């Protein structure tokens, strides 16, 4: 028997093409798309305006299957984290961060991460595989369902108030994995987030975070420009080579040039630089002044992230006064700078803490265990 097709894997163009293969007209694909994503429906029988014969056929050949939640944790500050089963003993994490003016969902793109940034819990556990488009958009589908998200009315859409009534108003691709290393599946999911037949989010409210894969940044600019965040974390190549190893392939000069190119088509007129504050490593006044010189020609803002510890990380969080002084140097240079409030750290949902469960194909965990044994 053929494996049923998961319809969450398709953006609207892909679903139209799939329905065409069944001999169905494009409007049928859009009907099903709206039921799936507007209504959070996974039951073909409930799609009442779809022809009964087509519903019966879909039940035989297709499914609407998001990842399965295996753990649901809620922080004292309201942050909510789900551990989601993606098969073969792998699980990824998705985080919802409620705020007064918006609700942000942090979405994962890979089971593990191959980039091995020195201060990131996800990177320490190695890498298994890319998530499918269904597993990526399924995180948004599932979070909407579990949060009981309200949907816009037709009048809201006509009035242009596309975020009215939404619990999830923003999506950030900042969970487990490097989104641009899973380019095709991530872009399919992004198109669904932006499509009015699905979630209809503004490009300004969807952010992709990257460690700096330059060719993929250029592709994203050309194919699906959304807001861009760059995990910078160092002010010079020598330090960044150590903290963010992808810098050895795409050094800072190339990364800054790619940021400038991206802004030619970006929905926002600035790039956000993410900068984790590591005590005694990248947080000196000299580092701050280096950053000012580095980004002189790149319209940007900085988001300083107090390091969120995890076992055996080898790093400490910069002190509050050190972070304040560092931020002051950037602000005095005319750079908009914020310090991220740590959210969800009591359930390991804060930035850099997502770990999930990964069957490591890179064998990184075994190598580290051997190294630690040899050191003893």
DSSP string, 230-280: EE---SSHHHHHHHSGGGGTS-HHHHHHHHHHHTTT-SSSSEEEEEEEBTT
Answer yes or no: is 113 a known binding residue: yes
Angle between helices 183-194 and 12-21 (to 10 degrees): 100
The candidate with the shortest Cα–Cα distance to 342, out of 304, 288, 285, is 304
Answer yes or no: is 209 a known binding residue: yes
Catalytic residue among 24, 93, 152, 274: 93
Question: How far does the chain reach from its first CA to its final CA, in angstroms?
Answer: 54
How far apart, in whole angstroms, are the C-alpha atoms of residue 62 and residue 254? 44
**CB-facing half-sphere around the CA of 279: CA atoms within 13 A:** 12
Active site annotation includes 223: no
Active site annotation includes 351: yes
Chain centroid to CA 209? 7
How far apart, in whole angstroms, are the C-alpha atoms of residue 356 and residue 111? 8
Answer yes or no: is 126 a known binding residue: no
The torsion of the CA quartet 235, 240, 243, 245, rounded to 10 degrees, works out to 160
Answer yes or no: is 120 a known binding residue: yes
Answer yes or no: is 39 a known binding residue: no
Q: How many CB atoms lie within 10 A of CB 43?
A: 10
How far apart, in whole angstroms, are the C-alpha atoms of residue 251 and residue 242? 12
Residue 278 is given by DSSP the state B
Catalytic residue among 106, 224, 300, 351: 351
Answer yes or no: is 41 a known binding residue: no
Answer yes or no: is 106 a known binding residue: no
Name the pairing type of β-strands 5-6 and 62-63.
parallel
Answer yes or no: is 233 a known binding residue: yes
* Binding site as annotated, residues: 113, 117, 120, 177-178, 209, 231-233, 308
Active site residues: 93, 351
* Binding site as annotated, residues for S-adenosyl-L-methionine: 177-178, 209, 231-233, 308
* Binding site as annotated, residues for [4Fe-4S] cluster: 113, 117, 120
């Amino acid at each position: 028997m053929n494996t049923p097709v998961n319809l969450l894997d398709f953006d609207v163009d892909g679903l139209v093409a799939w329905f065409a293969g069944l001999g169905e007209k494009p409007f049928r694909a859009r009907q099903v798309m709206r039921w799936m994503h507007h209504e959070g429906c996974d039951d073909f029988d409930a799609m009442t305006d779809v022809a009964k014969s087509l519903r019966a056929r879909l039940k035989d050949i297709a499914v609407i299957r998001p990842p399965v939640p295996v753990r649901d944790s809620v922080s004292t500050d309201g942050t909510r984290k789900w551990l989601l089963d993606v098969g073969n003993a792998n699980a990824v994490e998705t985080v919802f961060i409620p705020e007064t003016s918006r609700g942000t969902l942090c979405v994962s793109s890979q089971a593990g991460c191959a980039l091995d940034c020195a201060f990131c819990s996800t990177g320490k556990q190695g890498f298994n595989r890319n998530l499918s488009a269904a597993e990526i958009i399924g995180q948004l589908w599932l979070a909407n369902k579990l949060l009981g998200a309200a949907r816009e009315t037709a009048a809201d859409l006509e009035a242009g108030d596309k975020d009215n009534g939404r619990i999830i108003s923003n999506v950030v691709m900042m969970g487990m994995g490097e989104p641009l290393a899973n380019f095709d599946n991530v872009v399919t999911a992004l198109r669904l987030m932006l499509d009015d037949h699905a979630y209809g989010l503004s490009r300004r409210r969807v952010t992709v975070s990257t460690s700096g894969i330059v060719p993929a940044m250029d592709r994203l600019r050309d194919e699906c420009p959304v807001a861009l965040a760059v995990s910078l974390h160092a002010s010079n190549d020598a330090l960044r080579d150590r903290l963010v190893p992808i810098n050895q392939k795409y050094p800072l000069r190339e990364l800054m040039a790619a940021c400038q190119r991206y802004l030619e088509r970006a929905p926002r007129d600035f790039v956000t630089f993410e900068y984790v504050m590591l005590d005694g490593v990248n947080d000196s006044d000299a580092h701050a002044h280096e950053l000012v010189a580095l980004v002189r020609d790149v319209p940007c803002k900085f988001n300083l992230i107090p390091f969120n510890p995890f076992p055996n990380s080898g790093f400490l969080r910069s002190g509050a006064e050190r972070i304040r002084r560092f931020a002051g140097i950037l602000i005095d240079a005319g750079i908009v700078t914020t310090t991220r409030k740590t959210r969800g750290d009591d359930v390991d949902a804060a930035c850099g803490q997502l770990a999930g469960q990964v069957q490591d194909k890179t064998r990184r965990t075994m190598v580290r265990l051997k190294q630690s044994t040899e050191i003893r």
